[in-house]
Amino acid sequence: MTDLRDLYQEVILDHNKSPHNYREMPDATRLALGNNPLCGDKLKLYVRVEGDRIADVAFQGSGCAISKASASLMTDAVKGKSLAEAEELYGKFHDLLTGPPDVKADGAGLGKLAVFSGVREFPVRVKCATLAWHTLESALKNSHEVAKTE
């Protein structure tokens, strides 16, 4: 049976307490809002795109530990990456979280993001972990829509 520690791992708790890149970005070129109305997670994502690279990324907002830690780790993972690389990471992360329960979670190529593999056992929390990434997707596609995970 899955343990709570599989969800609230040390890394996640640390990033919740002291999230990386938690600031405003006046020179952002992209902005997107993310919202999980059912649980009260709200996210504002700032991205500065230079050419085809994510030069800087930051976020603000309030939300549960999973959503905050996910946003924090995401900013670390995509900073400096190309748009295509970020897209690929999104796909891998999404698969990690939503893969079938009988297939072992594969964290290869995800670095620190693999720490979210435990979320798969807590289906109610998957939306919290993916909110930041949906919001990033929205920011990069510049769709001006508020990303929602509902």
Partner 1 sequence: MSAVTKTTPEARVHPYDVEGIRAEFPILSRSVHGKPLVYLDNANTTQKPRAVIDAIRRYYEEENANIHRGTHWLSEKATEAYEGGRAKVARFLGAASPKEIIFTRGTTEAINLVASGFARDFLKAGDEVLITGLEHHSNIVPWQLACERTGAKLVVVPITDEGEVPIDEFERRLTARTKLAAVSHVSNALGTVNPVKAFVALAHARGVPILVDGAQAAPHLPIDVVDLDCDFYAISGHKMYGPTGIGALYGTEEWLEKLPPYQGGGDMISSVTFEKTTYNVLPWKFEAGTANIAGGIGFGVAADWLSGVGLPAVAAHEHDLLVHATRQLSAIRGLTIVGRAKEKAAVISFVLDNVHPHDIGTILDREGIAIRTGHHCAQPVMDRFGLPATARASFGLYNTRAEVDALAAAIEKVREVFG
Binding positions for partner 1, 75-134, rule CB under 8 A: 122, 124-125, 128
Residue 16 vs 138, nearer CB to partner 1 = 16
Look up residue 23 and give its two tokens: 């600031």
Beta strand residue intervals within 1-52, DSSP E: 30-36, 41-50
**For residue 42, what are the β-bridge partners?**
35, 62
Nearer to partner 1, 28 or 115 (CB): 115
Residue 55 beta carbon to partner 1: minimum distance, rounded to whole angstroms: 30
Distance CA 25, CA 120 (A): 32
Q: Determine, following the binding rule CB under 8 A, whether residue 38 of this chain makes contact with partner 1.
A: yes
> Does 7 sit near partner 1 (CB under 8 A)?
yes
Give me the least distance between CB of 19 and partner 1, in Å please. 12
Q: How far apart are the C-alpha atoms of 18 and 5, rounded to whole Å?
A: 19
How many other C-beta atoms can be found within 10 angstroms of the C-beta atom of residue 121? 15
- The candidate with the shortest Cα–Cα distance to 22, out of 66, 74, 90, is 74
Cα-only R_g, the chain: 14
Which of 55, 62, 111, 142 forms a contact with partner 1 (CB under 8 A)? 62
Q: Which stretch binds partner 1 (CB under 8 A): 38-46, 49-57, 83-91, 101-109?
A: 38-46
Catalog residues that contact partner 1 under the rule CB under 8 A. Answer: 1, 4, 7-8, 13, 16-17, 37-42, 62-66, 122, 124-125, 128
